[in-house]
Amino acid sequence: MVETPDTKPKLGEPHPEDAGVSTHDLKAWFVREVLPLEASLVQYLRTAWRAGDDIADLRQDVYVRVFESASKRLPQSARPFVFAIARNLIIDRLRRNRIVPIEGVPDLDAIEVASDEPGPDRKTIARDELRRLRLALDRLPPRCREAVILKRVEKLSRPEIALRMGISENTVKRHLADAAHLLANMFYAEQPGAGGEE
Amino acid sequence: MTPTPKSHADAKAVEAQAVEWLIARDEPDSWTGEKQAEFEAWLAQSPAHQTAFWRVEASWMRTELFADLRPFGFGAHRAQPQRNRPWQSSFRIAAVASLLVAAIGLGATIYFRQPETQTFSTPIGGRKILTLLDGSQIELNTNTVVEIGTGENQRHVNLLQGEAFFQVHHDPDHIFTVTAAGHRVTDLGTKFVLRTHGQALEVTLLEGKASLEPDNVRVGEPLILNPGDVAFTNGRSVTLEKRPGRQLDESIAWRKGLLIFDNTSLAEAAAEFNRYNAAKITISDIDGKQFKLNGAIRVNDREEFARLARNLFGLRVEQRGNEMVIRR
């Protein structure tokens, strides 16, 4: 039996006294509360979902459910909310696919995700934001890093970056796109401490 | 096996689209209202789009903090004086490539040799610094358009309109040339300012040396310009005058957003001012040459210009729509 936290309204049922959360508030909450949980979430999904499906797809489905549910009302505590959704999603999939008995899904308590305390990852991010940024930057391919600094720090346009780096605008675009993917994964998907932190 | 219902597109594809929008939105020059609407429609299509975008956007926003990392030793990306001369190798490659192309046929040669250029411009009142691969800088003044070759052709610049300050990293093996209205300026280790006046060109040499080959009036060797030289050519004649250092500073005061007047007539001052402002100042019913201005003013401070006309010369200033009319 899976219990969803009290703070969470039932999926698909609008909260009676609530007209819904503004996109602005929802976004702010999602970025502040949900994204920092991504590393733990991905780890949980890997442990719980052994069917070899793409974890990125699963994570996306979790985010979609989080979005739909939280847009009716923001939960008081993000962590148990997100992990309950993840667990329910996996149980739904397992039931549908009849692969693994439901008892095979790791309990939330067992992997210590249901705590109200912000996870160590979040604290680390807050404390070492600059250090993490620097490490992330160091791990980008050099041309990619150069392009992203010229774009984000120096605020140059793509043609100006092409000029400065002596490459085509399309190559600049590719470097920036690569950087955006890599940074999102470094900041959110990876466990803090992964990837060469001293 | 019943397929898992997949209401959402493949996460990788969604993320790729999100990134595409993210970096497109970071180009204010090409981000139109139409694109914004298209982007909002894409976001509204699915929570998968929305959350994927928030995710890549949030990490992208954090990169602004990279600026704070500079004291810890970032900034090595700045173009250094040439060490390995990247264009030399690309010249070699280009040479080999053009041999190959020559073997393929003349038509193909012409196609491949077509120099590609990038165009950069500033609006009225705008200013922009462009940095080339070798560290050379081109600073565009108001209402200016330049065309710059791509790749190894970067050192061929065409000033199509307006005024620009050039600070060239000199390399005797790879000359730096600027053409404007058919006139050609070649760097010999230089800082200079070029200003176009229709088909005419004014060259102010600040440091180093440059040579000028005016269109039509070329006589033998190119004209060598030294610091303080101001050359003016309209395709029919060339004049050369020497200016003292103080006046040279005035000619590049725009780089600090200033106009400096040195016994400048009100008419000339207004004309100079109008280069930087879409809302024009006109002088009506008076001989603008009677009134001389000395001093400095910010290029966009129209109110101060009006105040000076009133207080210094006792003139009247009227606002007619967007236009400011100075009269007796």
Query: pLDDT tens-digit profile of A16-60?
Result: 445 688 999 999 999 999 999 999 998 888 888 776 667 888 999
Between CA B136 and CA B81 the distance in angstroms is 9
- Residue B239, beta-bridge partner list: B232
Write the pLDDT tens digit of every residue in A141-157. Answer: 999 999 999 999 888 99
The two three-digit tokens of residue B3, written as one number: 């397929």
A-chain residues near B53 (CB < 8 A):
none
B73 touches chain A (CB under 8 A): no
Scan for tokens 């077509």, then name that residue: B114
| Residue A112 scores a pLDDT above 70 | no
User: Which residues in chain B show pLDDT less than 70?
Assistant: 1-9, 67-115, 218-219, 288
The one-character DSSP state at B278 is: S
Considering only residues 80 to 109 of chain A, which have any Cβ-Cβ distance to chain B shorter than 8 Å?
Answer: 93, 96-98
- Considering only the beta carbons, identify the residue of B11, B27, B68 that sits closest to A56: B11
Interface test with A, best of B8, B12, B22, B54 (most A CBs within 10 A): B54
Q: Is A3 on the interface with B (CB under 8 A)?
A: no
Q: Which of B5, B54, B77 sits opposite A149 (nearest CB)?
A: B77
Nearest CB to A181: which of B8, B19, B68? B19
pLDDT at A128: 66
Write the ipTM: 0.79
> Cβ of A49 under 8 Å from any chain B Cβ?
no
Put simply, the chain A residues between 124 and 153 with a CB less than 8 A from any chain B CB are: 129-130, 133-134, 137, 145-146, 148-153
Put simply, the answer to whether A60 touches B52 (Cβ < 8 Å) is yes
CB contact under 8 A, B87 and A163: no
Which residues in chain B are closer than 8 Å to A38, comparing Cβ atoms? 55
Mean pLDDT of all residues belonging to chain B: 82
Instruction: Tell me which CATH code domain B257-327 carries.
Output: 3.55.50.30
d(CA B14, CA B49): 6
Q: Out of A97, A158, A188, name the one closest to residue B1 (CB).
A: A97
Handedness of CA A133, A134, A135, A141 (dihedral sign): positive
Q: Which fold has domain A128-189?
A: Arc Repressor Mutant, subunit A (1.10.10)
Q: Which residues from B are below 8 Å from A177, CB to CB?
A: 16, 19-20, 23
Confidence of residue A15 (pLDDT cuts 50, 70, 90): very low
The whole-number average pLDDT for the span A69-74 is 91
Token pair listed for B20: 């595409």
Between CA B173 and CA A30 the distance in angstroms is: 56
Alpha-helix residue ranges (DSSP H) falling in chain B: 11-25, 33-45, 47-62, 66-69, 86-104, 106-113, 245-251, 266-274, 302-313
Angle of helix B11-25 relative to helix A169-184, nearest 10 degrees, comes to 120
pTM comes to 0.70
Residue A60: which of B2, B11, B60 has the nearest Cβ? B11
In the three-class reduction of DSSP (H, G, I as helix; E, B as strand; rest coil), residue A77 is classed as coil
Which residues in chain B are contacts of A148 at CB distance < 8 A? 63, 66
Interface touch B15/A151, C-beta < 8 Å: no
Find residue B201's DSSP bridge partners: B196, B233
- For residues B63 and A71, what is the distance between their CA atoms, to the nearest angstrom? 28
**Nearest chain A alpha carbon to B31:** A157
- State whether A134 and B62 contact (CB < 8 Å): no
Yes or no, beta carbons of A187 and B62 under 8 Å apart? yes
Domain boundaries, chain A: 23-118, 128-189
* SS3 of residue B220 by DSSP: coil
Q: What is the pLDDT of residue B126?
A: 92
Helices (H), B153-292: 245-251, 266-274
CA B90 to chain centre: 25
According to DSSP, the residues that pair with B293 across neighbouring strands are B264
Rounded CA-CA distance B151/B156 in Å is: 10
Chain A positions in Cβ-Cβ contact with residue B15 (cut-off 8 Å) = 56, 181, 184
Q: Which of B2, B4, B132 to mutate to test the interface with A (most CBs of A within 10 A)?
A: B4
Q: CATH number of the domain at B116-248, please?
A: 2.60.120.1440
- In sequence order, the 6+-apart residues with CB closer than 8 A to the CB of B160 are B119, B145, B146, B147, B180, B196
Q: What are phi and psi of B147, to 5 degrees?
A: -120, 130
Q: Which residue has the higher pLDDT, B238 or A95?
A: B238
Q: At what angle do helices A55-70 and B47-62 cross, to 10 degrees?
A: 100
- Contact predicate B178/B184, CB 8 Å: yes
Q: What is the 3-state composition of chain B as percent helix, strand, coil, each rounded to the nearest 5? A: 35, 30, 30
Burial B41-69 (b: 16+ CB within 10 A, else e): ebbeebbbbbbbbbbbbbbbebbebbeeb
Tens-place pLDDT, residues B243-283: 888 788 888 899 999 998 888 888 889 998 899 998 899 98
Token look-up 């970056």 returns A161
At residue B256, the 3 state secondary structure works out as helix
Rounded to whole angstroms, what are the CA distances from B146 to A180, B72, B113, B153, B190? 31, 36, 20, 14, 18
| Per-residue pLDDT, B170 | 87
- Across the range A124-149, mean pLDDT stands at 81
How confident is the model over A85-90, as a mean pLDDT? 90
Cα–Cα separations (whole angstroms), residue A167 to A28, A173, B97, B193: 37, 10, 18, 27
- DSSP state for residue B150 in the 8-state scheme: -
- Residue B63 tokens, joined: 């990169």
User: Would an 8 Å CB–CB cutoff place A19 in contact with chain B?
Assistant: no
The domain locations on chain B are 11-46, 86-115, 116-248, 257-327
